[in-house]
Structure 1
């Protein structure tokens, strides 16, 4: 039986792209998956059979290299985290929350800052540019690639294309940050629906309603995923949150106590690094708030 890649899941159907090319085959999943509590995901490499009517059936899900729960996608190896610098304003706490989840999924992350063309003139614009540059320097120092873009005037798009080539990329971010505009700029002719930001709410409507892998130049795919702004830590353990902060990992090995929470323990290398300015204040504050949120989530469950 042939093997292929699920490039879209919609209304109970899975669209499987054969590695030989051609149009995706519309497939149903076998009932055995439901009995096992399994579900094929976009990005899954699968074995499938074809039926006489031109449709097919997903027979087997091959082992996954990675999996995200929200949005649901398998085998993505690069999380492309899209954040606008204006409307909605750049939120570092939300960016750090996205980074925790992508690190937990054992994926690398690419940070894309959008809407550079929307930065206003004057003092407000200068403040936005300072904030943007501080964020770029901070996350670059931690080890993340940061690309500054404008889908409207094409700024940064070549650098972004180079970074995406050859990967199954998961595109994610808040509603209204310009994800669909980026996809349309990168894949001409696709014309994914975009909506203007609501002046009253300061955020956009959800314009992408399902996960789909879009082929891009360089032999890779990009997953345009439904916009979302809430992530929780229910699936993480308390030790995992700290390990999902890249700069904490080498430091935690120097802590006096195994299982150090990096909040109050004596001779904690992370706390010492924070006091010395090696760990950014914002990153540490977000870590503490995530730990608090994790504890509250566990109490609810």
Structure 2
């Protein structure tokens, strides 16, 4: 039986690519029985009824999967945040980073609209970029308008399945239109009433850019830490994870424990205070989470 990859899911159909040919498939009833839903990014075994139509018979094991947006086997996540309109939010970025780290996806932080930022705003963005680079993240500052920094993104796309995610209005679709001229994804500005972007992407689809596949997603509609336990959170902050190796007590949550290397790192300036504060906020959120039954 032929094997392929799902590149689009829409209205109960799954579009599977194999050797450059796309076959529109339905899932067999066994998936509903076993509660398996094929996802964009899945490697599958399928049966072609003819040159255009077929059925998915098997979904191969996944290395990861996201629920919202529904996509599997993601290698990299480009977390797209704007320097202005909407304003850069480290708290929201850290929330995205935790979810991406937890799912073992490599994050690339992409800060857009640098051409619209004032000199002081740009200086503040550069300081944030320096902090995140020190933590171990790749940070790229770009402008879809001037195309500044765009060339730095291409090497990160090659041979990978990537998602572009971030709050609406930050310029994800504009960025993809620059990365692949002629794509002509719909873009939309900021709602003056709400102060945030209008959603323009309605379904998940993998798009070829160079030698890689990119999903322009509708955005993470759920940013809650439903799966993450308190003891796992620190591992999702690289600089906290490194410092935690020197904490006196194993299982230290870096809140009130004595001789905590993480708290010492904050005091010494090796861990940015806002990153630590976001960690504490997320930790409390996890502790306050209602138990699942």
TM range (shorter): over 0.9
Show the counterpart of 1:164: 157
TM-score normalised by the chain length of structure 2: 0.96
- Does residue 46 of structure 2 align to residue 12 of structure 1? no
CA contact (8 A) 1:175 1:228 kept: no
Shift of the alpha carbon at 1:298? 2.7
Aligned residues: 293
Deviation by residue 1:158-204 (Cα, 9 ceiling, x = unmatched): 11112212211111000000000011111111111111111121111
Residues 21-36 of structure 1 mapped to structure 2, 5 A cutoff: 21-22=20-21, 24-36=22-34
CA contact (8 A) 2:234 2:241 kept: yes
CA contact (8 A) 1:234 1:298 kept: no
CA contact (8 A) 2:68 2:221 kept: no
Q: Provide the alpha-carbon RMSD of the alignment.
A: 1.5
Distance in 1 (alpha carbons) for counterparts of 2:250 and 2:172: 41
Show the counterpart of 1:244: 236
- Does residue 128 of structure 2 align to residue 99 of structure 1? no
Show the counterpart of 1:208: 201
- Does residue 281 of structure 2 align to residue 297 of structure 1? no
Residues 169 and 53 from structure 1, CA distance in 2 versus in 1: closer, same or farther, beyond 3 angstroms? closer
Show the counterpart of 1:76: 74
Shift of the alpha carbon at 1:86? 0.7
Deviation by residue 1:15-65 (Cα, 9 ceiling, x = unmatched): 1011x112x111111211122121111111111111147311111111112
CA contact (8 A) 1:8 1:211 kept: yes
Q: Give the gaps of 5 or more residues in structure 1.
A: 120-124
Show the counterpart of 1:227: 219
SS of corresponding position for 2:153: helix
Q: Which of 95, 112, 115 does residue 114 from structure 1 map onto?
A: 112
- Does residue 267 of structure 2 align to residue 284 of structure 1? no
Show the counterpart of 2:60: 62
CA contact (8 A) 1:99 1:244 kept: yes
Q: Which of 148, 160, 182 does residue 175 from structure 2 map onto?
A: 182
Show the counterpart of 1:173: 166
Deviation by residue 1:221-271 (Cα, 9 ceiling, x = unmatched): 111000346500111111111111111222222222222111111121111
SS of corresponding position for 1:236: coil
Residues 257-268 of structure 1 mapped to structure 2, 5 A cutoff: 257-268=249-260
- Does residue 131 of structure 2 align to residue 138 of structure 1? yes
Show the counterpart of 1:45: 43
- Does residue 256 of structure 2 align to residue 255 of structure 1? no
Distance in 2 (alpha carbons) for counterparts of 1:52 and 1:107: 36
